Amino acid sequence: MINLTKIGIIVGSLRKNSFSKQIADNVVSLLPAGYEAEFVEIGNLPLFNQDYEGDLGTPAEYTSFRNTIKALDAVLFVTPEYNRSIPAALKNALDVASRPYGESVWSGKPAAIISQSPGALAGFGSNHHLRQVLTFLNMPVVQQPEAYIGSVHELLDENGKLNGETTQFLQSFVNEFDHLIKKYQ
């Protein structure tokens, strides 16, 4: 049996019709042979409280999330920008799986970031704040091409399919992610 390389996809938006999720769905179909994708839920994680490492005990959702991340070979983040940064749900998920101290399950996993916005700045602030956190979490991140998807609502059709030009760009992005992952295998 061939061992597939597992990419976890974390979507920074919890919204049902999220543009980020629609982009992520498009990206799944661009993965080369040998990969499997798994969407990782973050909306169910209680807000991080350091007392969960003490008196309060560990929430079951934390244990399950940490085990899911641990089992991944790489992580793709597709996120909107909230007030020029990453959404709180995404930061919460990053914090949860970074603890307990010294037991972060993010460390060493190759990552890639796609930011999107209906606006023209394409989530630049969110993209770079996330990049900063991932650097601290010791995750090698795809540097080029950078993926800023602006005016996202104009790029998706009514079935959530991205136009040809954007798909072609994201294919080149995915190919670089593939190269990065192979470097660390």
Name the site residues for ligand FNR (rule: CB under 6 A). Answer: 13, 15, 18-20, 80-84, 117-119, 121, 123
138, 103 Cβ separation under 8 angstroms: no
Instruction: CB nearer to ligand FNR: give 25 or 178.
Output: 25
Instruction: CB nearer to ligand FNR: give 79 or 98.
Output: 79
Q: Shortest distance, CB of residue 41 to ligand FNR, whole angstroms?
A: 15
Residue of closest CB approach to ligand FNR: 80
Instruction: CB nearer to ligand FNR: give 15 or 179.
Output: 15
Q: Shortest distance, CB of residue 83 to ligand FNR, whole angstroms?
A: 5
93, 45 Cβ separation under 8 angstroms: yes
Q: Say whether 5 sits in a helix, a strand or coil.
A: strand
Q: Shortest distance, CB of residue 84 to ligand FNR, whole angstroms?
A: 5
Q: Shortest distance, CB of residue 77 to ligand FNR, whole angstroms?
A: 12
Token digits of residue 88: 């709180």
Token digits of residue 84: 């020029």
Instruction: CB nearer to ligand FNR: give 8 or 123.
Output: 123
